[in-house]
Amino acid sequence: MPTLKDSVKQRFMAELMSGRSAEDFAVLVVDEVGMRVMNSVIRMFDLSEAGVTTVENLELARRPLPELDAIYFISPSPGSVELLLKDFEDAKNPMYKNVYIFFTSTLGSLELSHMKSSPIVSRVRGLKDLNIEFLVTESNVFHLDARRAFRNLFAPGSSPLEEQHNVARQLATVFLTIGEMPSIRYHRNHKTAGSIANIVSDKLSSYVSNPNVKFPTSQSSNQPLLLIVDRSIDGLAPCLHEFTYQAMVYDLLNVDLKSDKYAYKTQDGKGQDLNRTVVLNEDDPIWPQMRHMHIAEAIDWVVKEFNSFIKTNKAANISKGEKARDVKDITEAVKQLPQYREIIAKYSLHLTMTKEAMALFNKTNLEEIGMLEQDMVMGETASGEPVKNVFARLTAVLHNPEVSPLDKLRLIVIYTLSQEGVDESSRRKLLSVAGLTRDPTDGEVVRSLEDIGISINSGKKSRNIFKKDKKKRKTKPDEVSYDLSRYTPEIKDICQQLLENKLSRDDYPFVKEPVGGGAASASSGQSARSRPVGNWANKRERKGESEGENLSGSRVFVFIVGGMTHSEMRVAYELQKAFKREVRH
């Protein structure tokens, strides 16, 4: 069964080739939205195979190529449509020969009327709304690239209904792309999830009744399931430090969150310093193998794997037969194995990143901070003893000038949530101790938790379920291998119940009852529970992400309104491995 990324790529390439052959060379023109969608699933090699000679930015000045056809993949925004029409406003001197136009979403009637009255009409050979309004950041992870959605959905004074429609429209295009009608469940306790779930259902129904859209006219017995929840299910996961490799890289290193690019310094085969920029994605074969490892394990793993690679290549002879230990040794290997320069550079990159992340871990006192975080949310120490003097430990860390303001604010939020609410005067005291009273937005961060449905006041009735979950978390999970990683994201509990067909239909109802009365049953599932373990740097036996697993059963899609964390992304892979089912977040 293809991954989500494979499905999007296949559809994109099929549409790109419709009406033309690979022998018909063409220019591909994209705006920012089209570029981000395309880059998440397509490589330049794929485009070259389809006859694309070059990719141009719609928003930049371009050289006219009137002898070549052009393919436009752009958003239907007024600005992009205006630039498209401008390319052909001079009928005698067009920018390109003929044009195939693909919009990321539905073209508005006003923009369509502008196109009809433009000289471009005579050159249009294809016009279609692709309705791909999401990014696939990993094989089975997607997001809507809606950077303002959180504020528009939850901020006081906002108009959430319009944003709910935007989110639902984009989410519906995921299923339009894979060509499957899902059954939909949602978290009843917050109106946002329920509203979006119903709008998605209506949108998918409109696809069914639209003769111009290829979409299943009915549900199937093996239909996918879409579960929609929001951030109120777990306010802790976004605040807790996660000490797996991918999470630490994005939390501590200077990674561009928009492009996933990381800039670093290295050396060439002659020992000269070089500045490099890489994209952290699955095109790097090492990244998927180690991204969910604990940082201590990741460091050992990358060195071990590199030495294993060197051992299989008899031409290599690092430092007279000694094993590689650091970046310098790997650089030496580059000199001796130039034919393997690319893969060796990947090992060097990841050794550099693991070492840098670990250095920042030590420099920023994250061991003490992380242990305090885990003790607060678990209600017990790593050895199973009841936590004592939490407030005193917290204030001591907040007093420490070497702890960053952001980490202090995270600790205050975690304390507030783990104590099931804290009165206003205590919160003000903590902010004062932390030196966070000068900026009023720091206090607003804590208060804004109520905007997403999480109570922060002690004694006030709350929908939070931290108290009962502390007991549950003591008896599981298999991914807990270190004292600093005892907490399990709430979404794992929810999804596990879903896959075992035990998730409450009262708390998580269907929008419409599915065919056969249920979906995402646990016919091929197995337990994913085990017991926690000791010291943060003493690992237990674990396995990396499995490749080429034989997956069965209906696919499960989980959408978290308000965004998801790297720990929650990791959970999807763990559940997929445990239950042999596709779980996509």
Chain mean pLDDT for the chain = 85
536: which residues sit within 8 A by CB, 6+ positions away?
243, 296, 367, 370, 371, 382, 482, 483, 484, 485
Average pLDDT over residues 340-348: 84
Q: For residues 531 and 390, which has the higher predicted lDDT (pLDDT)?
A: 390
283 and 325, same domain (yes or no): yes
Same domain, 27 and 122: yes
How would residue 455 be classed by pLDDT, with cut points 50, 70 and 90? confident
Per-residue pLDDT tens over the stretch 489-516: 999 999 999 999 999 999 999 999 876 6
Q: Which residues contact 18 (CB under 8 A, 6 or more apart)?
A: 126, 128
Question: CB within 8 A of 128, min separation 6: which ones?
Answer: 15, 18, 101, 102, 103
Q: Answer yes or no: do 420 and 347 share one domain.
A: no
Regarding predicted confidence, which is higher, 530 or 170? 170
Provide mean pLDDT across the span 134-142.
92
The neighbour count for residue 213, using CB atoms within 10 Å, is 12
* 275 lies in some domain: yes
Min mean pLDDT across 41-50, 433-442, 465-474 is at: 465-474
Task: Give yes or no: residues 268 and 334 share one domain.
Answer: yes
Indicate if the pLDDT at residue 408 is higher than 70: yes
User: Mean pLDDT over residues 40-59, rounded?
Assistant: 92
- Decide if 391 is inside a domain: yes
In a domain, 457, yes or no: no
In the predicted model, is pLDDT for residue 550 greater than 90?
no
* pLDDT for the residue 34: 95
**Which CATH number covers residue 430?**
1.25.40.60
Which pTM was predicted?
A: 0.86
Give the pLDDT score at 546. 44
pLDDT in tens, 52-74: 999 999 999 999 999 999 999 99
Model confidence at 531, in pLDDT bands (50, 70, 90)?
very low
Please check whether residue 297 lies inside any domain of the structure: yes
- Indicate which CATH number applies to the domain containing 259: 3.90.830.10
- 537 confidence band (pLDDT: 50, 70, 90): very low
Residue at 559 is within a domain? yes
Number of domains in the chain: 4
Domain holding 77, by residue range, is 4-132
- Nearest CA-CA partner of 194 in 453, 420, 572: 453
- Residue 376, pLDDT > 80, answer yes
- Same domain for 125 and 144: no
- Does residue 225 fall inside a structural domain? yes
Residue 466, domain member (yes or no)? no
Q: What is the pLDDT of residues 105-114, one digit of tens each?
A: 999 999 999 9
Q: Say whether both 75 and 60 belong to one domain.
A: yes
3-state secondary structure 111-147: HHHHHHCCHHHHHEEEEEECCCCCEEEECCEEECCCC
- How distant, in Å, are the alpha carbons of 296, 303, 305, 355, 390 from that of 300? 7, 5, 9, 11, 34
CB atoms within 10 A of CB 53: 12
Pairwise CA distance, residues 435 & 414, whole Å: 17
